């Protein structure tokens, strides 16, 4: 059963943030990093490795880059005010490949449709993220294996929603709460609760004293004040003015589950994205003859195998190449799938290479991106099946950003267009070899490929399916360099996430 594994406070400030524009108070002028507060957003990480965002502030882009957040599985919103939803516009780079559900009350979803009309209109804006608006009520619901209990609170006169998820609760922009809703919070272990400032009342927000009183009323073991303004003291002083069990939050604060409780993390967490540990080196070899590229692959492959045999960590490398016209036949391929003789082939200036990958016969040539990942799969926590699936996913993502729907075909590796129809045609071939979990060979993506060469073979051994290219499938033109950039970005996203997760497991974070 899923539970909250960690809670990260991405932003701890009120609607104007701290420092406030044009203000020269001591808090705004503070050089303490804990006094630099972006607008409130909170990231929950579940025991199943899912990321759930509570509110999406205007500072989400900055927060996500700093924290290394590169994917979300769901968003829960408290209300429709700008400082809690404006970051939705920053989701286009991480929410284009699959639906991202956003849970909120109907009034909030209507406001989103209105403000982001260029996403939800009849002609969506180019690059529109796939936001799936999910209406909720005040009744409990489930997200990614977690039960979420809505808490009705009032932001002045505006009814908004707080949330309790297991032993954790999130209340922001609260001014008043009725007793029947307080009961839902009793005995909560960890409470994030808004407190704008000390003493001076505010018409729509609690003071810090009111936040402390509610924390004590529900008997929370620990509470963290969020949505702080520049009128609150500097963090160093604020910490001395709060009672036992109540602390001031700050941007980047992380709570981790230790045993049965969420506890303040004692170690500083550095963004994995800015770490010197990277999943692979990338090299674009541009136009390179097949035999030279194959020799380079073999050299890198042998080096990695030797390093592993000595107990060292191999360096992963991704090569992109563009070859002269050439055919390659896998170790289990049938020579009968070459439909002309090798003699005729050579007379036309084309060679056939017998190589040690899986798969049958395929073609490489100008206008095609041939990729060779020499990866130690153990560093990514992958077996060979998951590796091939991930290669296919990288290709599918690249096709998607170019308006092409690539799919898998059961029993056949690679990426296809309309695979389950009589018009099935292959756009990317995949064939790999591995030893000691180090990979060799890779994929061939047809971009501007001259498809006439495929008439000389049964591509990948198929006699009843066609081949195609991106140029043939696209409505709008592209360039080989742009597709390479898009493809390498897809590789980095998928393999970086796998590499990060594997490293986190080894460090005991999962």
Distance CA 476, CA 56 (A): 34
- Catalytic site residue 289? no
Q: What is the pairing mode between strands 222-226 and 190-194?
A: parallel
Distance CA 241, CA 207 (A): 13
Whether the CB-CB separation of 54 and 85 falls below 8 Å is answered with no
Radius of gyration of the chain measured on its C-alpha atoms:
27
Distance CA 157, CA 141 (A): 25
Structure tokens that stand for 73 in this block = 């599985």
Strand ranges, E, within 126-248: 131-135, 141-143, 146-155, 158-165, 168-171, 190-194, 222-226, 246-248
Question: What is the signed CA dihedral for 213, 219, 223, 226, rounded to 10 degrees?
Answer: -50
Residue from 140, 133, 182, 195 nearest 165 by CA: 140
Paired strand residues for 284: 320
Distance CA 429, CA 363 (A): 9
Whether the CB-CB separation of 439 and 398 falls below 8 Å is answered with no
Distance CA 497, CA 273 (A): 10
Map residue 320 onto helix, strand or coil: strand
Distance CA 471, CA 504 (A): 40
Catalytic one of 56, 394, 428, 460: 460
In sequence order, what are the residues at sequence separation of 6 or more whose Cβ sits closer than 8 angstroms to the Cβ of residue 263? 255, 256, 257
Which residues are known catalytic residues? 460
């Amino acid at each position: 059963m899923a539970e909250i594994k960690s809670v990260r406070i991405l932003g701890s400030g009120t609607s104007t943030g701290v420092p406030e524009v044009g203000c020269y108070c001591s808090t705004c002028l503070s050089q303490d990093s804990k006094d630099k507060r972006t607008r409130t957003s909170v990231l929950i990480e579940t025991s199943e490795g899912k990321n759930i965002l509570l509110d999406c502030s205007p500072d989400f882009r900055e927060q996500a880059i700093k924290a290394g957040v590169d994917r979300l599985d769901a968003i829960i919103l408290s209300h429709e005010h700008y400082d809690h939803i404006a970051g939705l516009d920053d989701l286009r780079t991480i929410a284009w490949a699959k639906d991202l559900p956003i849970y909120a009350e109907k009034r909030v979803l209507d406001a989103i449709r209105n403000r982001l009309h260029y996403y939800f209109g009849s002609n969506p804006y180019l690059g529109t993220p796939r936001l799936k608006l999910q209406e909720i009520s005040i009744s409990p619901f489930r997200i990614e294996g977690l039960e979420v209990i809505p808490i009705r609170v009032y932001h002045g006169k505006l009814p908004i929603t707080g949330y309790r998820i297991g032993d954790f609760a999130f209340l922001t922009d609260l001014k008043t709460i009725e007793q029947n809703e307080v009961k839902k919070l009793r005995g909560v272990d960890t409470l994030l609760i808004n407190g704008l400032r000390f003493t001076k009342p505010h018409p729509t927000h609690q003071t810090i004293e009111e936040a402390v009183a509610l924390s004590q009323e529900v008997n929370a073991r620990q509470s963290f004040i969020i949505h702080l303004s520049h009128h609150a003291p500097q963090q160093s002083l604020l910490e001395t003015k709060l009672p036992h069990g109540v602390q001031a939050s700050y941007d980047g604060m992380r709570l981790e589950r230790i045993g049965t409780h969420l506890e303040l993390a004692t170690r500083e967490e550095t963004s994995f994205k800015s770490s010197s540990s990277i999943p692979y080196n990338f090299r674009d070899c541009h136009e390179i003859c097949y035999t030279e590229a194959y020799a380079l692959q073999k050299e890198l492959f042998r080096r990695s195998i030797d390093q592993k045999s000595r107990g060292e960590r191999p360096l992963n490398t991704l090569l992109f190449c563009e070859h002269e016209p050439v055919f390659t036949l896998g170790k289990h391929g049938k020579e009968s799938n070459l439909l002309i003789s090798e003699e005729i082939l050579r007379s036309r200036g084309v060679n056939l290479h017998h190589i040690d990958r899986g798969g049958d016969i395929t073609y490489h040539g100008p206008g095609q991106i041939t990729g060779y990942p020499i990866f130690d799969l153990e560093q990514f926590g992958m077996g060979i099946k998951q590796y091939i699936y991930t290669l296919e996913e990288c290709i599918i993502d690249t096709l998607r950003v170019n308006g092409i729907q690539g799919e898998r075909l059961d029993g056949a590796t690679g990426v296809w267009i309309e695979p389950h129809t009589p018009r099935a045609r292959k756009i990317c071939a995949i064939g790999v070899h591995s030893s000691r979990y180090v990979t060799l060979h890779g994929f061939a993506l047809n971009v501007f490929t001259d498809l006439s060469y495929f008439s000389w073979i049964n591509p990948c051994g198929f006699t009843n399916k066609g081949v195609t290219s991106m140029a043939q499938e696209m409505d709008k033109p592209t360039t080989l360099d742009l597709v390479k950039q898009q493809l390498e970005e897809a590789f980095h996203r998928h393999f970086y996430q796998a590499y990060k997760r594997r490293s986190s497991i080894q460090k005991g974070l999962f």
